Chain A
Amino acid sequence: MDRVVQGQGPLGDDPPMFADLAAHGLTVSVVPPLGQINLRGLDHEIAQAVAAACNGLDVTGPTNRCVAAGASWSLCLGPDEWLLVVPKHDTNDTARDLAAGLAGKHASIVDVSSNRIALDVGGPKAVSLFSSLTSLDISDLGPDRCVQTMLAKAQVIIHPLAAPTTYRVFLRPSYARHLADVIVDATRFL
């Protein structure tokens, strides 16, 4: 069953509330919808099948490891949990390939593409922004790491992007407007 519509997320595509932030050294943009698959299982049982289904994506390694393969990402959320991020149009195929590869194994594949949206937060003041919202030192984050924490009481996943001081923030769409308001409020004081 193919979807024939593609609606808007909670912030729209290009919210005007973020336009003024650049003057404060901060860029915030809404990432176009991504395919997201929640994957559960034991890495030694599933790693091979995941690599086969997702262009060689590697899900071994410790919790909070974050690796990319081509246009796909694997964010390790726990010892047996990953968020696989793939191009939106690949979601169904990837889920199907994963299900086929993992048939008979103890694993869970759930399409969660709309369970989180993503914001890209960058600019010279990005680290300051995070320091006003979380006790974690985001500047310490290695290029292959993600963190799960709270920003303004909203649960998020954050990982650095290749661009300097730019971070991708995954959050629940129901919290998105609240967090956007908090970001705009905090930016006044950066």
Chain B
Amino acid sequence: MTATRPANLRAPPVRARGGDWVDDTRPIAVSFDGRAYTGLAGDTLASALLANGVRVVGRSLKYHRPRGILSAGFEEPNALVQLGKGAHSEPNALATRVEIYDGMTATSVNRWPSLSHDVFAAFGLLARFMPAGFYYKTFLGSRVLWDRLYEPFLRRMAGFGRAPVGADPENYDQRHLQCDVLVVGGGVAGLASARAACASGARVVLIEDNPELAAGLAASPAKEWIDVAIGVVKQDATVLTRTTVFGAYDAGYFAALQRASDHLPQEARAGVRQRLWLIRAKQVVLATGAIERPLVFPNNDRPGVYLAGAARAYLDRFGVLVGRNVVAFTNNDETYATVIALKKAGAAIAAIVDVRANLTGGAVALAKHEGIRVLEGYVVVDVRGRSAVRGVTIAALDGGRREKIACDALLMSGGWSPAVHLFSQQGGKLIYDPGMAAFVPDRRPADPWCAGALCGETGVDAAITGGWRAGSSAATALGKPAPRGLTAELPDEPKGDAPLAFWRVPVAPSAERKCFIDFQNDSTLADVSLAVREGFTHPEHVKRYTLTGFGTDQGKTGNINALGNIAERTGGDLARLAPTTFRPPFLPVTFGALAGREKGALLDPVRVTALHDWHVAAGAAFENVGQWKRPWYYPKDGETLDQAVTRECLAVRNNVGILDASTLGKIEIVGADAAAFLNRVYTNAWSKLGVGRSRYGLMCREDGMLFDDGTTTRLAPDRFLMTTTTGNAAAVLDWLEEWLQTEWPDLKVYCTSVTDHWSTIALAGPRAREVLQCLAPGTALDAENFPFMSYQEVVVAGVAARVFRISFTGELSFEINVPWHDARHVWEAAITAGAAFGITPYGTEAMHVLRAEKGYPIIGQDTDGTVTPLDLGMAWAVSTKKDFLGKRSLARPDTARPDRKQFVGLLTSDPSRVIPEGAQIVSESNIADVRLPQSSPVPMEGHVTSSYFSAVLGRSIALALVRDGFRRTGETVYAVADGHAIAARIGPTVFYDPDGTRRDG
């Protein structure tokens, strides 16, 4: 510790003695805001800073008031730090949870340029001009001012830490876990629950946020019981520490984040930084404890004002005294034990200020016996000291005398709010318990089971008893035997005085601005008062008006105080106000942990065909089609996409091309009623299709809109092979199964997916027959013996293959189907045999051009779920005789309209001009309006669905959906894109070989 700091930020070192969690023999060097400090192994960053006398750790959001450490746990609103550097950096880490390691670097957030000289601190002086809702009221005026001045300025002000730059280089793991009983919270109650459930023979998971179970209870009278329980539970249950259950979802599903190696130096982190546990529990016991509330009084946010329980935790766990001369301000008995512990550790106790009067219980008596000054019926009305507490002013509640008391730390306790977050996330109802002055779980019905401070079972004895009961109930609810014995024999705790609900110290309205309710959002008593005055009386409205309960801490310390003050201000009954909704996550969760290994190359499955390696070796460029990787084009010698596609298209038109069509969906449909079934799902008729023949079919949803298309072949009287589009393979199979199982179970039909079984190799072009003949020398392949739209079993290159004479190019074409394992062999044989005929592999881009030249639509590109078969001009494929899925909808008034958008061809006036796909189409009479930037909307006549340059035609071609398009043949329309209007004439969709003379070769 060679660094020096301004005196007002520092106090003398206060490590009083060893704590339960720290190792006195292992000093750890850390850096905070560029200065070196020494802590002990086991310290949190907060305890290390406190031990070094650091008081100010951040600035508040709105007024930039100096803020210190308030708590010792996950409820901390102030002590947010930025950890690490570069891509490893983590914003908004809680110093109260961060375990230090050698070389840790942390910086405070929300200060600029530095903690001690913060230019925004002047906002503190402007506090009365920035009341609740100022955001909504101030920036309504000028858009220019907002863009140029307010927003950049506010961005600088707001937001705490900085998001790391660059991809997160850490590893995150995810695991699933199943159990009979999940116990959330490894305090005494959780430990007792887990032990009881284990004793019943249940499969138990116990999760604790802290590094150790039963944290900070080394000095407890029940230490012996605790030590035994820890030993048993670690042996019999799955115990996860440093793990936070942050989400409770339906049906016993929980998500928990384990900080697997955050406590280790960067270089010592082997493998996983954090692990996400996804847990399905049959029963759950919540033993999540309670969160201490601040009291609401002027300057209750000064550095050096601590939650009383935090002071106790810093002493017991880390041996750190938060002050040498301490005042405590409380409404409950728990604070007394803390004060006595601090006194025994060497602190002077200036006074205990208790809002309650006429106290008779044991806790107060013990304090008085210790010689501690107890002021009953008193409150703290002011805190002196700006960056560190120098003293307090107290006053009698009845308005009597005031007194200034010097101190260097103020402990406060406004009572305890059960940590009901997970209980509420599961939909559990809360009720107000006036005796505890807190909202507690309404445990009817008793699932989840609750135990410990969560439901007011305070004190070790009550927690063990309640925890045992909850764990035992959870296990027996699953039919396990009740666990036997094992409740602890503990000394009775002295009878105490009940806490007193106390939501604010009565102060003048002008002082309410300094009474903080939500420390992180700088929401004050004045803000809540203003919200109520302006009519926002519902807690959800007050939350949004004052920002109370937002931020990284989600109001863990402030929400109930806000509620209490709303009730007081509205004269309402606190019991009738509901706390604002609790939603996951309970604490912030790193995105990386949620993503797990689903990132980068593993984000989504990449499906490849049996021929993928050949395509890669051939230098193919790939295109994603659904999850598939398909060859897009095969550039040769530095060709561009256009050059390669032109070459591939001409090869198919003039010689022969070869395409990997394996990704097509394939479904085998078997059964006596298979043809009848196809009649119902396809728009055309199938009963009369002969064995060995293929037919093109269209499929509609019940609304009459096209869903899929493909060629289906009758392999045998009761057996068909259906093909589907690549992207729809799974959806079509689901669709078929849905109708077979739900509406037509009487049909004798079974469907089996064979998509991966069969690889499909398409040979297309005038010389396709010659290539296939080389591979199947004995087979008659001429048009008479193997006609268009037929199928044969052929041995191809020595492999039993199913060969179909179907064509997606308009050329003579054979689609060869062979099992996956044989595909590479057959493909290579075709390439070898085809060399003499100029065989050329072609990709999906050439395939798209070739089919567009023939006007074949692609379902999902040329259609969009609002297009019927009739809109495509395919009335020839729609039966008028039989019923089929979607038929009735084709007669609905809107579907039967004659002027629907219809599928047409477009030829640009300039043959070299290729219209961008997606371009909107306007009519000639409106074209003038298009060029006027401010004119009223121009009627949209349709849009271009496919558009290419056709090498074989030497000009551009396009397909489009145009309103009333069938009747507008010959009309010139304009396709508008990129600020240009491209003239094009409407015509037929078939651009090439309209008579179909080429398909027989």
Contacts and interface: CB of A to CB of B under 8 A. Distances in A.
A80 to B, nearest CB: 8
Interface stretch (B524-532, B822-830, B925-933, B948-956): B822-830
B278 interface: yes
A132 B174 contact: yes
B280 A135 contact: yes
B602 A185 contact: yes
B756 A116 contact: yes
Contact of A137 (B178, B601, B820): B178
A3 B800 contact: yes
Interface string B99-142: 00000000000000000000000000000000000000000000
A114 interface: yes
Interface stretch (B181-189, B563-571, B791-799): B791-799
B262 to A, nearest CB: 15
A125 to B, nearest CB: 12
A115 B757 contact: yes
Interface stretch (B435-443, B604-612, B900-908): B604-612
Interface string B143-171: 00000000000000000000000000001
A37 to B, nearest CB: 10
A110 B670 contact: yes
A112 B750 contact: no
Interface in B809-864: 819-825
A164 interface: no
A2 B800 CA distance: 7
A33 B844 CA distance: 31
Nearest to B278: A135
B484 interface: no
B752 A112 contact: yes
Interface stretch (A47-55, A66-74, A172-180): A172-180
A186 interface: yes
B176 interface: yes
A189 B823 CA distance: 36
Name A's interface SS: loop
A182 interface: yes
Interface in A87-116: 106-116
A108 B750 contact: yes
A128 B238 CA distance: 14
Nearest to A155: B730
A8 B614 CA distance: 13
Interface in A1-43: 1-10, 33, 38, 40-41
A144 interface: no
Given A114-B756, A131-B175, A152-B602, A7 B628 contact: no
A128 to B, nearest CB: 8
A134 B174 CA distance: 10
Interface in B461-481: none
B756 A174 contact: yes
A108 B753 CA distance: 12
B21 to A, nearest CB: 27
B605 A7 contact: no
B176 A134 contact: yes
Nearest to A113: B819
A10 B278 contact: no
Nearest to A116: B756
Nearest to B603: A153
A142 to B, nearest CB: 16
- Size bracket of the B interface: 35 or more
B799 A5 contact: yes
B175 A132 contact: yes
Contact of B607 (A33, A114, A178, A188): A178
A154 interface: yes
A94 to B, nearest CB: 16
B752 A108 contact: yes
A6 B607 CA distance: 22
Contacts of A9: 820-821
A159 to B, nearest CB: 19
A132 B278 CA distance: 10
Given A177-B606, A178-B605, A114 B752 contact: no
B257 to A, nearest CB: 15
B671 interface: yes
Nearest to B275: A189
Centre residue among B171, B605, B609 by max chain A CB count within 10 A = B605
Contact of A174 (B272, B608, B672): B608
A9 B278 CA distance: 34
A5 B668 CA distance: 24
B173 interface: yes
A182 B606 CA distance: 11
A185 B670 contact: no
A153 B671 contact: no
Interface residues of A, number: 50
Given A40-B752, A173-B610, A6 B821 contact: yes
Contacts of A178: 602, 605-607
Contacts of B977: none
Interface in B338-390: none
A35 to B, nearest CB: 11
B176 A114 contact: no
A132 B271 contact: no
A156 to B, nearest CB: 12
Contacts of A111: 757
Contacts of A38: 752
Centre residue among A7, A8, A128, A131 by max chain B CB count within 10 A = A7
A40 B670 contact: yes
A154 B799 CA distance: 29
Nearest to B826: A5
A38 B755 CA distance: 13
B177 interface: yes
A40 B610 contact: no
Contacts of B668: 108, 110
Given A3-B798, A106-B671, A135-B280, A112 B754 contact: yes
A172 B756 contact: yes
B176 A189 contact: no
A5 B607 contact: no
Centre residue among A5, A116, A131, A181 by max chain B CB count within 10 A = A5
A40 B271 CA distance: 46
Contact of A181 (B601, B607, B757, B799): B601
A1 to B, nearest CB: 4
Contact of B757 (A112, A137, A188): A112
B757 A131 contact: no
B597 interface: yes
A9 to B, nearest CB: 6
B271 A188 contact: yes
B628 A174 contact: yes
A4 B609 contact: no
A59 to B, nearest CB: 15
A154 B756 CA distance: 13
Contacts of B822: 3, 5-7
A171 to B, nearest CB: 9
B44 to A, nearest CB: 26
A31 B227 CA distance: 50
Contacts of A172: 607, 755-756
B670 A33 contact: no
B17 interface: no
B626 to A, nearest CB: 11
11 contacts: A2-B800, A5-B797, A10-B608, A111-B757, A112-B754, A115-B757, A131-B175, A173-B756, A182-B597, A186-B173, A189-B173
Q: Which 10 A-B pairs have the closest CB atoms?
A: A108-B750, A40-B750, A108-B670, A115-B757, A114-B819, A4-B798, A114-B820, A1-B800, A174-B607, A189-B173
Given A7-B610, A128-B175, A137-B178, 16 more contacts: A5-B825, A7-B822, A7-B824, A40-B670, A106-B671, A109-B670, A110-B752, A111-B757, A114-B819, A116-B756, A134-B176, A135-B176, A178-B605, A185-B597, A188-B171, A189-B275
Interface of A: 1-10, 33, 38, 40-41, 80, 106-116, 128, 131-132, 134-137, 140, 152-154, 172-175, 177-179, 181-182, 185-186, 188-189
